[in-house]
């Protein structure tokens, strides 16, 4: 992430969530990027939304891309940290399904509970460029961890597609919450529904009650 500069004092009180001017800038940019579009948002408009001079914004972020980088990183870091912790646990009989479920539920909750629907920024052409290599690498690592946890499952349903990858399926279901939220259809239950669906499609529906219980414990202990 871009390191914060010293900033400048402001003559007015903060008008946005955040303990620092840097956090307020990120909040304003998140709103404008997700409502007006990245290309249509200028650093001046971000500064205006915070109530600071454009020159003051540059004490915290040199470019608009630096702001986007921080926002993109913020969408994966918590989920990635949790997934790493879950994947590092020693093997335990009967917990494979709960581990994938916990990662999907935790990750989906992060995407749905953030103040702004920043997942929509994944679709920006700019977000796929080498400029954002760190974000792309972190997101790929998170996807790989889903894959590792899913690989430990043995789909019991004979209708489950041959060669299907449970981890990748769960990852895609979780990221579908971004579009669900963009359409105004996401609810507080959506992350759990997405996590459940991944396990149900693996033929683990009958085990779902115990999987949910174990998943909740993992989130409580590691989240």
Q: For 1-10, 84-93, 133-142, 160-169, which range has the lowest pLDDT when averaged over its residues? A: 1-10
Based on the fold, state whether residues 80 and 102 are members of the same structural domain. Answer: yes
Based on the fold, state whether residues 58 and 167 are members of the same structural domain. Answer: no
Tokens 């929509």, residue? Answer: 120
Residue 167 lies in a domain: yes
Report the pLDDT value the prediction gives residue 192, as an integer from 0 to 100: 98
**Range of the structural domain that residue 73 is part of:** 65-222
- Residue 66 in this model has a pLDDT that exceeds 70: yes
- Residue 4 in this model has a pLDDT that exceeds 70: no
At residue 154 the predicted structure's pLDDT band, cuts being 50, 70 and 90, is: low
Based on the fold, state whether residues 77 and 53 are members of the same structural domain. Answer: no
- Residue 9 in this model has a pLDDT that exceeds 50: no
DSSP state of 118: G
Based on the fold, state whether residues 33 and 120 are members of the same structural domain. Answer: no
Give the tokens for residue 71. Answer: 């926002």
Q: Tell me, what CATH number does 128's domain have?
A: 1.10.357
Query: Average pLDDT for residues 170-189, to the nearest whole number?
Result: 97
Dist. CA 221–CA 89, nearest whole Å: 12
Based on the fold, state whether residues 46 and 147 are members of the same structural domain. Answer: no
- Residue 98 in this model has a pLDDT that exceeds 70: yes
Nearest to 175 by CA among 79, 99, 47, 92: 79
Residue 5 lies in a domain: no
Spatial CB neighbours of 72, under 8 Å, sequence gap ≥ 6: 118, 121, 122, 127, 132, 135
Report the pLDDT value the prediction gives residue 160, as an integer from 0 to 100: 60
Q: For 5-14, 111-120, 138-147, 178-187, which range has the lowest pLDDT when averaged over its residues? A: 5-14
Based on the fold, state whether residues 133 and 172 are members of the same structural domain. Answer: yes
Q: Under a CB-based contact definition with an 8 Å cutoff, are residues 73 and 62 in contact?
A: no
Rg (CA), the chain: 20
Residue 14 lies in a domain: no
CA distances in angstroms from 90 to 78, 86, 93, 143, 179, listed in the order given = 21, 9, 10, 20, 35
Query: Average pLDDT for residues 138-166, to the nearest whole number?
Result: 80
Residue 141 lies in a domain: yes
CA distances in angstroms from 157 to 12, 70, 161, 197, 199, listed in the order given = 61, 41, 9, 14, 11
**Secondary structure class of 84 (helix, strand, coil):** helix
Residue 71 lies in a domain: yes
């Amino acid at each position: 992430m871009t390191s914060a500069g010293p900033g400048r004092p402001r003559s007015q009180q903060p008008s946005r969530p955040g303990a620092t001017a840097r956090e307020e800038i990120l909040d304003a940019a998140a709103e404008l990027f997700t409502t007006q579009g990245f290309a249509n948002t200028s650093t001046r408009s971000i500064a205006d939304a915070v109530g600071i001079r454009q020159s003051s914004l540059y004490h915290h972020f040199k470019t608009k891309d630096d702001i986007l980088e921080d926002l993109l990183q913020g969408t994966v870091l918590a989920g990635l940290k949790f997934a790493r912790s879950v994947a590092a646990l020693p093997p335990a009989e009967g917990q494979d399904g709960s581990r994938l479920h916990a990662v999907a539920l935790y990750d989906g909750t992060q995407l749905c509970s953030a103040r702004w629907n920043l997942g929509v920024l994944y679709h920006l052409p700019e977000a796929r460029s080498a400029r954002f290599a760190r974000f792309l690498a972190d997101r790929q690592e998170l996807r790989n961890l889903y894959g590792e946890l899913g690989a430990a499952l043995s789909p019991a349903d004979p209708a489950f597609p041959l060669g299907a990858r449970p981890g990748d399926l769960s990852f895609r279901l979780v990221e579908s919450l971004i579009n669900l939220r963009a359409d105004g259809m996401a609810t507080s239950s959506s992350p759990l529904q997405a996590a459940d669906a991944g396990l149900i499609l693996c033929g683990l529906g009958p085990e779902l009650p115990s999987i949910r219980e174990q998943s909740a414990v993992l989130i409580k202990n590691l989240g």
